[in-house]
Structure 1
């Protein structure tokens, strides 16, 4: 079964078509500098982790990339095109999807309605909601990502926390054409459910998606990320390839203390 409207993913390594490039992003709130000249590139099929202590600026950066805040300085490029966001809806329209810890799902609706929430498919010529088509496309996607749920027609309220997070990731996967941004997606989950969600994230990577994940869990970062970039007091203090660094090195960057 073909999944409708799949995200278009740039060819890895193609110059100028990286899903996300941030150049010199800064954010000021009056005299307070929350983010100072942040630079980052995220490639197709890459997971980049954003880490830092509380108050480091991670949430502010997430809000800039998702359109809630506009940067004071700097540029955002999506798939080779310079862009600005008016608001989160504009960011979604341009291909940026966000998975939050609180999920933003509707318990009383079935899984397939949550996948198409606000973007429902409609039958022609009368414009009634095409529930059959939405359920079929949702089932195809959760099967591909191995999100283990009873059915696309299951009520969201009947699912576990890990299953719900898997649905939130599947929804982002379906609609993102540039970037999937995840803000502490497993913070409220136990060990077993965290492992299942991480498996879904890795399948998302295998599909060629670009993923930027905010995480406080260093073990998780080293399990799933390709690179990790560190914020300290609003300043980007280092970016490392996970395969070429260590827990101690990253913790030293976060704290500013030598290992």
Structure 2
């Protein structure tokens, strides 16, 4: 590392970071942390018409950060950091899950991760550097408490995908890692759990509290930064395991 990097190893100044699902709580937190702490040029990708997506972009612009709001990877220029964060969840038990809903869960998490990674990887290989951070879940290891089997299966698949990327792309200077959040305080969580259900879950969590999305975001910044230069193919659990 250079002296400048050693002085502040957890920064990604002047790098282009593309974050999917940026209109959500975790994606938005990652965008804010990257822009404020990392000094990155942040590109926000989400569903068209998501108002939180556009509000966040305007907020970051107002603070003087360059926010590139694009949905198509080919329009972004070279991407240094890709954060595969877009996701959905359901509280339907597996035995009541329609096949189209099963496929939708796999498509959003696995196909989405594949397609975006596929679009940025050639440029990263040509430049000999790049960083892919994929948002998995504690459900990959423990199963989804709601019974959303597509979610837990896809999140486990993301971890296997990441290990393969790390093995095959490491010689090209590209790193790939996963984050497995526990019980994060997001609208998505509250949409599938009522207060009683959340109370029962928190009794199984060592810290007995919901995780702030910015705790996930700072982990993403660590993985994207030179401070984790030899960390690849790993899944970092944030929030402790949900104890059985």
* TM exceeding 0.5: no
TM-score normalised to the size of structure 1? Answer: 0.33
Which has more radius of gyration? 1
Larger relative contact order (C-alpha < 8 A, sep ≥ 6)? 1
TM-score normalised to the size of structure 2? Answer: 0.34
More strand by share: 1
